[in-house]
Amino acid sequence: MSEIKAPILRDLPAELTGERVVVRPFRAGDGAALYEAIQESLEHIKPWLPFGPSHKCPDDSEEYVRSAAARWITRKDMPAAVFDIATGRFLGATGLHRIDWETPSFEIGYWLRKTAVGHGYMTEAVWLLCEVCFTTLGAQRVEIYAGTGNTASAAVARRLGFECEGVMRNTKRITTGELIDMYIFSMIPQEFERLRLERQPHAAHAHP
């Protein structure tokens, strides 16, 4: 087995461009757009995501995006922003989390602002990350977790061809205090290759 390159030395595209969305690391100056999207979506992302109330002002969001940019560079956690190509509008966030560089394996997380739901934006964004995981980072496993009551989140995984491995019972407390079950979805290289070939006419391109 070849020597594993230090994560910080892994070169990645500066952004991933699909048909309608761009996925890229957060940058200084993204805070205002993030703050606006969170304020629009507080009830929408609640109870699944706990971070909304911590963004009390634009400076809170700007602090977050600068911290996220630093974590991307070190490859310890890799949050990313999703933008509409046509308008430049901030749509939501995704990223690679719970990273195990030795396997390698990654978890993809995501959320979408309320007014962007239902247009397939996040499905496209998550596929772009899948391509990076398997073709650039040598992933042997990519995971998605979704609360069993979070039908929209689970639908993204199913739409992309992730395998539902089962349900983890009583695994997480959401912001309401309720203890929920969660689906665990996964994809491995053989499945990705089959799905990639099926999608080839619609393949997106990564720009360095």
Task: Say if 130 falls within a structural domain.
Answer: yes
Question: Is the model's pLDDT at 208 over the cut of 80?
Answer: no
The predicted pLDDT at position 3 comes to 60
Question: Is the model's pLDDT at 203 over the cut of 80?
Answer: no
- 114-161: per-residue pLDDT in tens? 999 999 999 999 999 999 999 999 999 999 999 999 999 999 999 999
Continuous H helices in 75-169: 121-135, 151-160
The predicted pLDDT at position 5 comes to 80
Task: Say if 55 falls within a structural domain.
Answer: yes
Task: Say if 4 falls within a structural domain.
Answer: no
**How confident is residue 4, by pLDDT bands cut at 50, 70 and 90?**
low
CA 81/CA 173 separation, integer angstroms:
26
Orientation of helix 189-199 relative to helix 121-135, angle to 10° = 130
Task: Say if 165 falls within a structural domain.
Answer: yes
The predicted pLDDT at position 50 comes to 84
Comparing CA positions, the residue from 14, 13, 15, 19 lying closest to residue 123 is 19
Task: Say if 1 falls within a structural domain.
Answer: no
Question: Is the model's pLDDT at 1 over the cut of 50?
Answer: no
| Residue 194: domain span | 13-200
| Local structure of residue 6 (DSSP, 8 states) | P
Q: Which residue has the higher pLDDT, 28 or 175?
A: 28
DSSP annotation string for 119-143: SSHHHHHHHHHHHHHHHTS--SEEE
The predicted pLDDT at position 8 comes to 92
Q: Which residue has the higher pLDDT, 145 or 201?
A: 145
Question: Where residue 106 sits, what CATH number does that domain have?
Answer: 3.40.630.30
Count of structural domains, the chain: 1
* Amino acid identity for residue 104 in this structure: P
The predicted pLDDT at position 189 comes to 98
Task: Say if 205 falls within a structural domain.
Answer: no
- CA of residue 57 relative to chain centroid, distance: 24
Task: Say if 6 falls within a structural domain.
Answer: no
Question: Is the model's pLDDT at 207 over the cut of 50?
Answer: no
Task: Say if 3 falls within a structural domain.
Answer: no
- 29-87: per-residue pLDDT in tens? 999 999 999 999 998 888 888 888 899 999 999 999 999 999 999 999 999 999 999 99
Reported as type and span, the H/E element at residue 97 is strand 90-100
